[in-house]
Structure 1
């Protein structure tokens, strides 16, 4: 799928099987920069967070990175002091091979919460990753990141800065435990642009807010959410910051990559077969619109109705009403795509067959107008089928 995609200049990557997962599936990945790279990161807001998240937050203070090493299959969350030792050992082993400081290594994990990492498999796996790291091993890297994902997720953007080609390549994994403020998802963004550290952090946060923080699959926030971005300057362009002429173009490209990856995550939602966009307009503020949109998107009653192609608009009204948004029932309008089912808080005379036609599509929108102000927000979500239960019981 991604065999023709190469990493940006100065980056290599790899994905291998270290024996963490049964059956020989790839379960370790490496992203390596030939040069010290400026680092930016955004992490889970869950008060219970995995050992690698704690270490990555600390390493981000250093601001420079040489590599990201990760495992899938075991989350290394709720593992106490032993889990922290495992993360530091992974960073130290990777740093020893590169010849850099351990704080220049970011370590990530994803998978089941609770078990300890098998360092007897992971340490040799790190060596195997370095032996196989190449600029073209994008497919293998994306595959190694997967847990319940059904397919790897990669996005690419290219642009010209100062007459030079600049490239951004992003990876992501995630299919369940996905709720705004990120989820059991990992994403790594690499670019051969040179970017000033604080500007890079601000740009990444803005891109995440418009992408990974706009999605929900099941309303569950994870312990391991991590988005990391590395910029190594190998393209030869001058260092970009918010005053640079090309800053807007770079920021848009970064946002594009993050948004495309976020949409891939929703389309690959565990057991899902419908992609649903929830738009709320007319709120007293953007924050209120966000509350209403999340409430509708996270409602299991709505998700199961969409799975059953049932246009149960009452569940939408209910979810809007119990959200923290200000709502005046007699002003609310609800649309399935362009088909209006609620006007002034009550049902219209639209034929139910027209609504069923909309919710039978694999991609549709729920559009809600609160008629109270100019606030607006969008959340991207999916339905919930019996298969979601089978995956997660």
Structure 2
């Protein structure tokens, strides 16, 4: 068993999840890895009647792995630990939802995770040599962007925790209770990394291009506004400008505006419906369009949230606990005996072919 442990541990350290997932002890390794805090492993040793008197904290994971503890024992212990942690979060859950619903409008601040430092260096540190100008820009521009970024990150973090708990509360899910790379839970004993997302703008661009339309929706909106002399603030950023254009054209009483906006939404609806009917194309797109710094080929469960009539407000669905809980539980109840071969996914990333297991669950607000 020690050689098996070292093989799997080396694969884990090197992000070689193919080796782990295809090994008969792969799930056993990952489940124990999620329990790898010393105090938790000591509790497991006591439960499994494993002698650890002469075992140091750093050796506990390897030592317990080599005992080949029953999977049922580990699964029940994981559920016990999860429930202890869940009780604490549940006490604050309703209050957390109250706070999440206080946000009516948020954006990413114009940049995304891991881009904050790059953005500041590029646009403020290196671009400005006058201290007075820098202080004015920080006060007038950066403070608002950082605030928006922090609010967006806070919202995404806590809604993701709440959504993970919905999955982990289900009887067919074994949670990953500790920090284990690429695994949030085991669904019917199959490891998945949960990704909560929205209908991606990049995929919408791709489907629009296939239809011979301008890739970016805002280009189409601007062109219509110019042709029909509908004013809009050209100094706004793209997100703010998009929202103004949508509202101005929607509320314009002219027949041309109403016809245009109806066709605009019909295009969106058709693209969304095509994707719902053929989710494999989107699944592959998700994998093939990862940023290089964050690339991996882990098994993924994509939860895709879509507000069909107000696509830009799909983010609000992340806090709709009632809808999410109902749809997620219905899906898990309806798929209790899963042939995971149907989720086998092949994709190409930078010239290399990869294989993994992935699925999409769409939650659509009509």
TM range (shorter): under 0.3
Per the normalisation by structure 1, the TM-score is 0.22
Give 1 or 2: higher helix fraction: 2
Q: Which has the higher Rg, Structure 1 or Structure 2? A: 2
Per the normalisation by structure 2, the TM-score is 0.23
